[in-house]
A = this chain, B = another copy of it.
Amino acid sequence: MSLFDVGAIVSALHDARDEWRDSQRRSREPGSREFPSREALADIVESLKGALFPMRLGPPDLRHESEDFYVGYTLDSALNALLNQARLELRYTARHEPRAAEDIDAQAGAAVREFAAALPGIRRLLDGDVLAAFQGDPAARSVDEVLLCYPGILAMIHHRVAHQLYRLGLPLLARIAAELAHAQTGIDIHPGAQIDAGFFIDHGTGVVIGETAVIGKRVRIYQAVTLGAKRFPTDAEGNLQKGLPRHPVVEDDVVIYAGATILGRVTLGKGATIGGNVWITDDVPPGAGVTQASLQNAPQRRLV
């Protein structure tokens, strides 16, 4: 006799799926999964890393002489794979408001074309991030060590790619790319966040940066820093209002030490230094230094 009645469990799982699909008003039409794939995105980002940094993150047997060949082939392949995923996202988004297939294809094509054109700029930004890390960490021995070892750099490669996808109307692909880095580094940057040049995250585990955060040039942050939202505004019917600016603005040359939490649409002024573990929900003037001690001594900047 068999140990399990697999048929009965299959049937009960079938019922559970039907309940869910009915509750979500989904059809039960035959067909295959029409949804972007995490595995596909992982391959695409891996290829883009190779195309951006061929001699460091490309194949180990690559040689200088054939860098351009490698970049061209890899890029063409990755961009076409991205095009497929872009179509899947746009079709999924369009499932409630039918659009012509040609429109979707045209939009996907335009987005990926623009994405491709942005890649050289992304490489330059990332070079700046690498330099910032090298200059900001006394333990760093070379820029190559930084590129190869630092989780903050890995997170920024994913973010600068993901942010482009987000800007180009592909927020789901962007989110998947961001989460791939989150899983590897413990650094959670929403693809919507705007991050200017020379950004350095040290150690990084536990960092959270929200969707509408705006970060200036040469900013440095440490592990477990949160740039979050204070509350989620709801509209008259109590629904969450999406897309409102609700995360901090961090101006140029700010440093934020480990564990600090900055919540809401506040501004950390140019050159400010935020001490470890502090909790901030108000603006900080340019050049100021905030520590737990200073907060306790300065009730006008109290915790709320």
Chain A: residues with CB nearer than 8 A to chain B? 1-4, 6-7, 9-17, 19-20, 23-24, 28-33, 35-39, 51-52, 54-56, 59-77, 79-81, 83, 92, 109, 112-113, 116-117, 119-120, 123-124, 127, 135, 138-139, 141-145, 148-151, 171-172, 175-176, 179, 182-186, 188, 190, 192, 203-206, 208, 211, 223-224, 226, 228-229, 232, 240-243, 246, 258-259, 261, 263, 276-277, 279, 291-293, 296, 302-304
Contact = CB atoms under 8 A, between A and B. Distances in A.
A237 to B, nearest CB: 13
Q: How many copies does the complex hold?
A: 6
A40 B138 CA distance: 26
Contacts of A296: 303
B33 A62 contact: yes
Contacts of A186: 186, 205-206
Determine which residue in A3, A37, A175 has the highest number of CB atoms from chain B within 10 A of its CB, and name it.
A3
A63 to B, nearest CB: 5
Contacts of A145: 172, 175
A30 B6 CA distance: 12
Contact of A279 (B120, B143, B276): B276
Contacts of A149: 38, 172, 175-176, 179
